[in-house]
Structure 1
Amino acid sequence: MEYQLKKLVTHYRKSLQIKPENLVVYEKIAELYYEQGELDKTLEFCQEALQIQPDLASVPKVLNKMLQTLGFEGEEITAFQNLLQSKLDYESFDILLSRSQTVKTPTDVKTWKDAIVLGYDFKEKKQWDEAITAYMKAIEIEPSLSFSYFTLNYIINYCFTPELNQLERIIAFYYQLIQRRLTSPYAYVVLGDMLTKQGKVSEAIIAYKVAINKTIHLNQNITNKYINSPKIDDVSFLIIGMGKAGTFSLYYYLCQHPQIIPATDKELHFFNKNFDLGVDWYLAHFPPLPVEGGFLTGEATPWYLGSDEVEKKVFQLFPKIKLIAILRNPVDRAISHYYMNLKLMKEHRTLEVAMTSELETLKEIIDLTQVSEKYWQTEKGYLWFGLYFYFLEKWMAIFPREQFLILRSEDLYNQTNKTMKQVYDFLEITDYSLSAHPKVNSGSYSKTNNKLRQKIDDFFHPYNQKLEDYLGMKFNWK
């Protein structure tokens, strides 16, 4: 029965390549994934359908069945549908649940939803050990969804540094899950990250490779071609920047293409933070590429572009790699960067104080290519990372111009299909029509004071002109 279901999914997914907006097919695929118990995939196809036609009646029926299976009721179901229509944001899922119910203590936890609500509350209070315990409980109760895995990994990788006994507890927990065979492939990624933190690089490599292998076998578009083909270890492309300019959306769109096989994670931070772990650790995050079939793989760490010496390390390992930089109006990028740090509680100043401080500091630096440690003691780089000209000049001193594709963030959102065709042409893969263009990992915040915005714009004006002259392309940022 399972084999027949997989054949049907493969058949329907092929038909989407011919007619990507066929909503009936999305309904059928979502139903089939639901029958297979692959709830993440069910959500994915429901969401894509809702992006195309938000009032579609048939797909929410599949969604309703799945949510009812997971214990959702009444208004929660409606709220979740609205969430899927808006954007892909795992934290929004936690917020949705926390608004719909209250869980006060661990003894109140009866369902996986209770555990997530409690975990979110602990996370907001920075009670990290308690938050980790709550999300582990959510995974234990309902291991088929990835929400809890992503949040748990985020807490451990970005919010605090766990102690050795905490790492050992989490690793033991994941090994127990794996033995029960009740886990998402992403669990192996989290396990690999934990083992890496312990310094067990060889064991981490094994975990990442298992994650890749399991993910490959869930992808019906490529399985048959992939299994029987000889393979090589290689990385085809890097999205090198810039942060808060749309790299998440670009990578998400690109990974919808049937010739792109994703890495274990979008951002691997190998060349700017983890280079000492070795190239074998890095390559373990990617699927070995079949010699035939035109498959590609890559990652998107947006801070590569502005990080010291990264370009030399990339050239050392992958001198022929294709490089993509997506650049956003640096004023908008700086403001978005500020609000991201504010949300992560890495910033406590007002927007005006933070921007004014950095403007004054940068004015005192004669050579902007040489920013001292003193600068980073007070500033967060909101304006610094918008000086695209200096970063691209360093990269292009090593890599030839033809290995770069430079995109405008504004074009990605306003002319998505046209922009993605540029990407496909650059990577030399077939054209592919996206069925939906959700903004991924996008933020929202209040409008900036016009006077402050003009001051930041005046600062960037000469650097934007340098960028246009250097690249021979217009950005028209106002």
Structure 2
Amino acid sequence: MEYHLKKLVTHYRKALQIKPDSLAVYEKIAELYYEQGELDKTLEVCQESLQIQADLASAPKVLNKILQTLGFEGEEITAFQNLLQSKLVYESFHLLLSCSEEVKIAADVKTWKDAIVLGYDSQKKNQWNEAITAYMKAIEIEPSLSLSYYELNSIISYCTSLEQNELSRIIASYHQIIQGRLTPPYADVALGDMLTKQGKITEAITAYKTGIDKTIYPNKKYTNKYIDCPKIYNVSFLIIGMGKAGTSSLYHYLCQHPQILPATDKELHFFNKNFDLGLDWYLAHFPPLPVEGGFLTGEATPWYLGSYEVEKKVFQLFPKIKLIAILRNPVKRAISQYYMSLKMMKEHRSLEVAMTSELEILKGVGDPTKVSDKYWQTEKGYLWLGFYFYFLEKWMTLFPREQFLILRSEDLSSQTEKTMKQVYDFLEIADYSLLEYSKVNSGSYSKTSNELHQKLSDFFQPHNQKLEDYLGMKFDWE
């Protein structure tokens, strides 16, 4: 039965290639995914149809059915539908649950939504074991939704207090919950991350490759010709920086291109944190590429640009790789990173105190890229990461200039389609337009005082001038 349904989905996907604006075909595909219990894919198809015609009345009828099945009611359904028109499926879940009124959780959690909200609440209180239990419960209740796996994995990845025996217990329970059930590809990626943390690298590689396979076979990007042809594991491009400059949006837009095959995660941190796990571990996060060409894959870890000796490791393994750096006004970038740290409770100083403290230290440093260990004991690198010239100079001593594409973050925001054409030309793939360019992972915060902003701008002015002279391009940062 399952094979028959997948065959029908493939049939209707082919019909979309002939008539890509057919809402009736989207309706059929959404219904088929719903019958298979693949709720994430159902919602993705509903979102696709809303991109064709942004009218809730034209959305697949199964959308209301699925939301009711998941426990949404009345105004919640309308709110979710509106979010779905402009947001990613995962973001829609996250925003709706984050913005909705707090749910009173009984000891006996009955719906996946209750379990997720309980998990969020436990996270806020740093009750990690309770949060893990809540997300595992959400997976048990509804195993086809990616959201629970994302949240569970984020806790396990960053929770340093987990003992190995406790991690083993979690993995065993996780296996038992998802065994024999229809789960999204990210379920296997999360398992791979847990096994990696446990040091079981061979098993982790298998889990990552299983997640990749689950992505490949139902995806319309992958034709029979792709599936049957000889393939190799390789990485075509890296987005190396800079953090808080639009790398999430850039990578998201790129991954919508029919010739770009996404990695299991946007940020793999291989060259700055996980290099000792080995090349096989790294390559397992990417779909294999046809020997004859036609497809590309890559990742975006925005801290590669400024991380110590990362350029040497990349050159060692991928000397011909294409490198993309997107740079933002370093003052605005620093302030954005500060507020991200504040939100994540990694920063407790005021903006003025944090920036002034770092500014006073960096004023006396000859080579800004060579700060002492003492600097990192008090500072977070908000300003330090804005020394783009010094970082790029190190990369460009190894890689030729033609392997780099340098973008202005401001251009990606204000001239998105034109900027993406630059990216496609650089990667030597066909031009491709999206119906909408929604910003991903953007933040908002209060206005900085003119005095502080000017002080920081004055500090960066000579460094920005060096960058412009070195690259032969204008950034016009005030």
Q: Which one is further off, 23-32 or 171-180?
A: 23-32
Match of 2:431 in 1: 431
Question: How far off is 1:108 after superposition?
Answer: 3.9
Alignment pair present for 1:299 and 2:299: yes
Give the conservation status (yes or no) of the 8 Å contact 1:216–1:223.
no
Give the conservation status (yes or no) of the 8 Å contact 2:157–2:194.
no
Per-residue CA shift, 1:250-278, capped at 9, x if unaligned? 11111111111111111100000000111
Count of residues paired in the alignment? 474
Residue 8 of structure 2 aligns with an amino acid whose one-letter code is Q
Match of 2:158 in 1: 158
Please provide the CA RMSD for this pair: 2.2
Match of 2:371 in 1: 371
Residue 230 of structure 1 aligns with an amino acid whose one-letter code is P
Match of 2:239 in 1: 239
Residue 277 of structure 1 aligns with an amino acid whose one-letter code is L
**SS of residue paired to 2:261:** coil
Match of 1:255 in 2: 255
| Equivalences for residues 449-464 of structure 1 within 5 A | 449-464=449-464
Change (3 A) 1:221 1:459: same
Give the conservation status (yes or no) of the 8 Å contact 2:27–2:61.
no
- Report the Cα distance in structure 2 between the residues aligned to 1:41 and 1:170, rounded to whole angstroms: 27
Give the conservation status (yes or no) of the 8 Å contact 2:80–2:92.
no
Give the conservation status (yes or no) of the 8 Å contact 2:23–2:58.
no
Match of 2:347 in 1: 347
Match of 1:117 in 2: 117
Match of 1:100 in 2: 100
| Equivalences for residues 371-410 of structure 1 within 5 A | 371-410=371-410
Q: TM-score, normalising length from structure 1?
A: 0.93
- Report the Cα distance in structure 2 between the residues aligned to 1:419 and 1:84, rounded to whole angstroms: 26
Give the conservation status (yes or no) of the 8 Å contact 2:323–2:404.
yes
- Report the Cα distance in structure 2 between the residues aligned to 1:229 and 1:176, rounded to whole angstroms: 35
Match of 2:80 in 1: 80
| Equivalences for residues 22-41 of structure 1 within 5 A | 30-41=30-41
Match of 1:170 in 2: 170
Change (3 A) 1:427 1:46: same
Match of 1:8 in 2: 12
Question: How far off is 1:367 after superposition?
Answer: 2.0
- Report the Cα distance in structure 2 between the residues aligned to 1:436 and 1:95, rounded to whole angstroms: 19
Change (3 A) 1:25 1:363: farther
Question: How far off is 1:15 after superposition?
Answer: 4.5
Question: How far off is 1:137 after superposition?
Answer: 0.5
**SS of residue paired to 2:217:** helix
User: Relative contact order, CA 8 A, sep 6+: which one is greater?
Assistant: 1
Residue 433 of structure 1 aligns with an amino acid whose one-letter code is S
- Report the Cα distance in structure 1 between the residues aligned to 2:408 and 2:50, rounded to whole angstroms: 27
Change (3 A) 1:406 1:32: farther
Question: How far off is 1:49 after superposition?
Answer: 5.2
| Equivalences for residues 274-289 of structure 1 within 5 A | 274-289=274-289
Question: How far off is 1:96 after superposition?
Answer: 2.9
**SS of residue paired to 1:297:** strand
Question: How far off is 1:90 after superposition?
Answer: 4.7
- Report the Cα distance in structure 2 between the residues aligned to 1:417 and 1:143, rounded to whole angstroms: 37
Per-residue CA shift, 1:123-169, capped at 9, x if unaligned? 11111110011011101100111011111111222354422133112
Give the conservation status (yes or no) of the 8 Å contact 1:52–1:436.
no
Question: How far off is 1:26 after superposition?
Answer: 5.7
In structure 1, stretches of 5+ residues that fail to align are none
Residue 10 of structure 1 aligns with an amino acid whose one-letter code is K
Question: How far off is 1:52 after superposition?
Answer: 7.0
Question: How far off is 1:291 after superposition?
Answer: 1.2
Give the conservation status (yes or no) of the 8 Å contact 1:324–1:405.
yes
In structure 2, stretches of 5+ residues that fail to align are none
- Report the Cα distance in structure 2 between the residues aligned to 1:121 and 1:86, rounded to whole angstroms: 27
- Report the Cα distance in structure 2 between the residues aligned to 1:346 and 1:357, rounded to whole angstroms: 16
- Report the Cα distance in structure 1 between the residues aligned to 2:23 and 2:437, rounded to whole angstroms: 15
Q: Which one is further off, 31-40 or 133-142?
A: 31-40
**SS of residue paired to 2:152:** helix
Question: How far off is 1:27 after superposition?
Answer: 5.7
Give the conservation status (yes or no) of the 8 Å contact 1:14–1:221.
no
Question: How far off is 1:226 after superposition?
Answer: 2.0
Per-residue CA shift, 1:336-366, capped at 9, x if unaligned? 1011111111011111111111111111212
Residue 7 of structure 1 aligns with an amino acid whose one-letter code is H
Query: Structure 1 vs Structure 2: percent identity of aligned residues?
Result: 77
Match of 2:210 in 1: 210
Give the conservation status (yes or no) of the 8 Å contact 2:153–2:190.
yes
Give the conservation status (yes or no) of the 8 Å contact 1:234–1:283.
yes
Give the conservation status (yes or no) of the 8 Å contact 2:40–2:89.
no
Change (3 A) 1:36 1:6: farther
| Equivalences for residues 59-78 of structure 1 within 5 A | 59=59, 61-78=61-78
**SS of residue paired to 1:445:** coil
Q: Which one is further off, 105-114 or 267-276?
A: 105-114
- Report the Cα distance in structure 1 between the residues aligned to 2:196 and 2:13, rounded to whole angstroms: 36
Change (3 A) 1:386 1:450: same
Q: Which one is further off, 466-475 or 153-162?
A: 153-162
- Report the Cα distance in structure 2 between the residues aligned to 1:182 and 1:45, rounded to whole angstroms: 17
- Report the Cα distance in structure 1 between the residues aligned to 2:339 and 2:300, rounded to whole angstroms: 21
- Report the Cα distance in structure 2 between the residues aligned to 1:387 and 1:12, rounded to whole angstroms: 48
Per-residue CA shift, 1:175-201, capped at 9, x if unaligned? 223422332111111111111111111
- Report the Cα distance in structure 1 between the residues aligned to 2:192 and 2:334, rounded to whole angstroms: 33
Give the conservation status (yes or no) of the 8 Å contact 1:189–1:264.
yes
- Report the Cα distance in structure 2 between the residues aligned to 1:291 and 1:432, rounded to whole angstroms: 23
- Report the Cα distance in structure 2 between the residues aligned to 1:293 and 1:67, rounded to whole angstroms: 41
Match of 1:220 in 2: 220
Q: Which one is further off, 205-214 or 84-93?
A: 84-93
Q: Which one is further off, 404-413 or 42-51?
A: 42-51
**SS of residue paired to 1:218:** coil
**SS of residue paired to 2:267:** coil
Question: How far off is 1:380 after superposition?
Answer: 0.4
Give the conservation status (yes or no) of the 8 Å contact 2:329–2:477.
yes
